[in-house]
């Protein structure tokens, strides 16, 4: 039982394997590259950064900054390598990618308790504790095996995500709560006049799209057409689609607006709201212009941008506990993009928690979860408790942790940062205590 299997040596799997080994247990780490490559990776190195070289903004007012600080406190291999190979990037933690990946690879290949197995895994090991971390480009045979094990409809192969905005940044004097035809008032509605719709349409049709990688040409189904594509089809198409105002009279006027943008809560507390039917592949700067051209969202803070790209991920709220164990298969844990987080840093952070809990399970100890005030705690709690309908991957953001009162945003966030980090450190000490005698 003291051996843990980790499948995939990307950001999540490398961190998970290192955590298990550092805590004193044996690890078998499976990686299919370079024998079999993914469409995005270029090397056989571990923790290869497939696109940008940034692990996110730093500092006390930045949600990713808090997650970085928690990872440093946890003794993260990814953060240690990032700090050693950092390059100047004006307030962001960016790295020189080859040196970064080489350091992670060396640390794992040279570790006495890690056995690296260069092999494509096609089915989960039948015994022992397993951390699954095969990422957004999980190889086909294993993806098929997971579909059989978990249910085909719980595994997605594409992200078609709409932007998500922070609840506290919505202008509640403009939006109104209502459900279509008087159904339960779960939605916030942004009303547009004819003139506002015309201006919105102009901004939308002038916005630029991301260029997808050539291996990732997407086919859109009518039900998840990007909003910019709907607009391209005709001036009124969005207004007869996701922006339909029918059955949504504004209680203040008693009349239906010319068009409506509906917002749906992403979390049970209503801290984050997504724009219904607004899945988009627009460039992020242009996406912000489009969102902020909507009445009620002029000052909206986007906590997760819309994306349309190839991505393999599970419907975590239906399958996974905040400990990152599968509810039906508690010896199996899952981390990284596959569990439904977005980003290098978030992948590594969930890798740390999965590694820690795998080690605890292998020793017969109960798994543990960081406090909700910490960014990692907020993230895993979101995964387990998010709205399972239309579940989309999430990155670190301030909507994941309980808010604090205060007039100035920067000061509020700095206090949330300190509260989160303190809580995380207290939890960490207790979570690591049983391993003190083990790791040599």
Ligand X SMILES: Cc1cc2nc3c(=O)[nH]c(=O)nc-3n(C[C@H](O)[C@H](O)[C@H](O)COP(=O)(O)OP(=O)(O)OC[C@H]3O[C@@H](n4cnc5c(N)ncnc54)[C@H](O)[C@@H]3O)c2cc1C
Binding site for ligand X (CB under 6 A): 7-13, 30-33, 38, 40-41, 50-52, 120-121, 133-139, 142, 213, 336-338, 343-344, 347
Would you say 150 or 337 has its CB closer to ligand X?
337
Q: Which C-beta is closer to ligand X: that of 36 or that of 84?
A: 36
Nearer to ligand X, 121 or 333 (CB): 121
Provide the pairing of β-strand 3-7 with 26-31: parallel
- Closest approach of Cβ 346 to ligand X, in Å? 7
Rounded Cα–Cα distance for residues 78 and 351 (Å): 10
Alpha carbon distance 19, 13 (integer Å): 10
CA distance 202 to 183: 32
Distance between CA 3 and CA 235 in Å, rounded? 60
User: Rounded to the nearest 5 degrees, what angle is found at the Cα of 389, between the Cα atoms of 384 and 394?
Assistant: 50
* C-beta nearest to ligand X: residue: 10
Spatial contact of 399 and 267, defined as CB atoms under 8 Å apart: yes
Shortest reach from residue 364's CB to ligand X, in Å: 27
CA-to-CA dists, residue 367 to 17, 333, 364, 379, 416, angstroms = 17, 11, 9, 16, 26
Question: Smallest gap, in angstroms, from Cβ of residue 157 to ligand X?
Answer: 11
CB 340 within 8 A of CB 316: yes
Name which of 51 and 437 has its Cβ closer to ligand X.
51
Helix, strand, coil in percent for the chain, rounding step 5: 40, 20, 45
Residue number, 176 or 344, with CB nearest to ligand X: 344
Residue 253 CB, nearest approach to ligand X (Å): 44
CB of 338 to ligand X, least distance (A): 6
Consecutive H or E run containing 415: helix 409-432
The least CB distance from residue 316 to ligand X, in Å, is 13
C-alpha of 38 from chain center: 20
Residue with Cβ nearer ligand X (280 or 293): 280
Distance between CA atoms of 151 and 352, rounded to whole angstroms?
Answer: 27
Distance CA(11)–CA(335), nearest Å, equals: 9
Nearest CB to ligand X, comparing residues 188 and 354: 354
Q: How far is the CB of 36 from ligand X (least distance, A)?
A: 8
Can you tell me the distance from the alpha carbon of 126 to that of 144, in angstroms, rounded to the nearest whole number?
16
Closer by beta carbon to ligand X, 189 or else 347: 347
Distances (CA, A) of 297 to 171, 192, 417: 6, 11, 26
CA distance 134 to 313: 10
**Token pair belonging to 369:** 């979860």
Min separation Cβ 18 and ligand X, Å: 13
Between 245 and 343, name the residue whose CB sits nearer to ligand X: 343
Residue nearer to ligand X on the CB measure, 30 or 427: 30
- Enumerate residues 6+ apart whose C-beta is below 8 A from 114: 17, 18, 21, 27, 29, 108
To ligand X, the closest distance from the beta carbon of 260 in angstroms equals 32
77 vs 276, which CB is nearer to ligand X?
Answer: 77
For the chain, the straight-line distance linking the first and the last C-alpha, in angstroms and rounded, comes to 19
Nearest distance in Å: CB 226, ligand X:
18
Long-range contacts of 198-202 (CB under 8 A, 24+ apart): 199/293, 200/259, 200/290, 200/293, 200/294, 201/231, 201/235, 201/238
Work out the number of other CB atoms within 10 angstroms of the CB of residue 3.
16
Minimal distance in Å, beta carbon 325 to ligand X? 17
């Amino acid at each position: 039982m003291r051996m843990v299997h980790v499948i995939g040596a990307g950001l999540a799997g490398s961190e998970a394997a290192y955590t298990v080994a550092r805590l004193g247990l044996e690890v078998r780490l499976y990686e299919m590259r370079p024998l079999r490559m993914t469409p995005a990776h270029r090397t056989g190195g571990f923790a290869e950064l497939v696109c940008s070289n940034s692990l996110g903004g730093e500092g006390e007012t930045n949600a990713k900054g808090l997650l970085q600080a928690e990872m440093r406190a946890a003794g993260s291999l990814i953060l240690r390598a990032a700090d050693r190979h950092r390059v100047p990037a004006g307030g962001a933690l960016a790295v020189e990618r080859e040196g970064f990946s080489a350091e992670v690879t060396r640390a794992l290949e040279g570790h006495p308790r890690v056995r690296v197995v260069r092999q494509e895994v096609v089915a989960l090991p039948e015994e022992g504790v397993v951390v699954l971390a095969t990422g957004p480009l999980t190889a086909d045979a294993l993806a098929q095996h997971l579909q059989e094990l978990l249910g085909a409809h719980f595994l997605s192969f594409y992200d078609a995500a709409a932007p998500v905005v922070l609840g506290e940044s919505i202008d509640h004097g403009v939006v109104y709560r209502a459900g279509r035809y008087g159904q339960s008032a779960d939605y916030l509605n942004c009303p547009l006049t004819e003139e506002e719709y015309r201006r919105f349409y102009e901004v939308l049709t002038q916005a630029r799209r991301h260029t997808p990688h050539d291996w990732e040409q997407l086919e859109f189904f009518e039900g998840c057409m990007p909003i910019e594509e709907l607009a391209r089809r005709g001036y009124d198409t969005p207004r007869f689609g996701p922006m339909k105002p029918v059955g949504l009279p504004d209680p203040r006027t008693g009349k239906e607006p010319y068009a409506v943008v509906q917002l749906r809560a992403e979390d049970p507390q209503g801290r984050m709201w997504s724009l219904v039917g607004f899945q988009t592949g627009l460039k992020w700067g242009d996406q912000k212009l489009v969102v902020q051209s909507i009445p009620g969202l002029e000052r909206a803070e986007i906590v997760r941008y819309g994306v349309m790209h190839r991505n393999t991920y599970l419907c975590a709220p239906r399958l996974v506990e905040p400990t990152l164990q599968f509810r039906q298969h508690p010896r199996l844990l899952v981390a990284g993009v596959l569990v439904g987080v977005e980003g290098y840093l978030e992948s590594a952070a969930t890798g740390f928690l999965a590694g820690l809990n795998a080690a605890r399970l292998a020793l017969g100890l109960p798994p543990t979860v960081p406090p909700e005030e910490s960014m990692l705690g907020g993230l895993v709690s979101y995964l387990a408790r998010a709205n399972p309908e239309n579940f989309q991957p999430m990155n670190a953001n301030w909507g994941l942790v309980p808010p604090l009162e205060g007039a100035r945003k920067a000061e509020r966030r700095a206090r949330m940062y300190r509260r989160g980090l303190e809580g995380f450190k207290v939890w960490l000490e207790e979570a690591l205590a049983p391993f003190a005698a083990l790791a040599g």
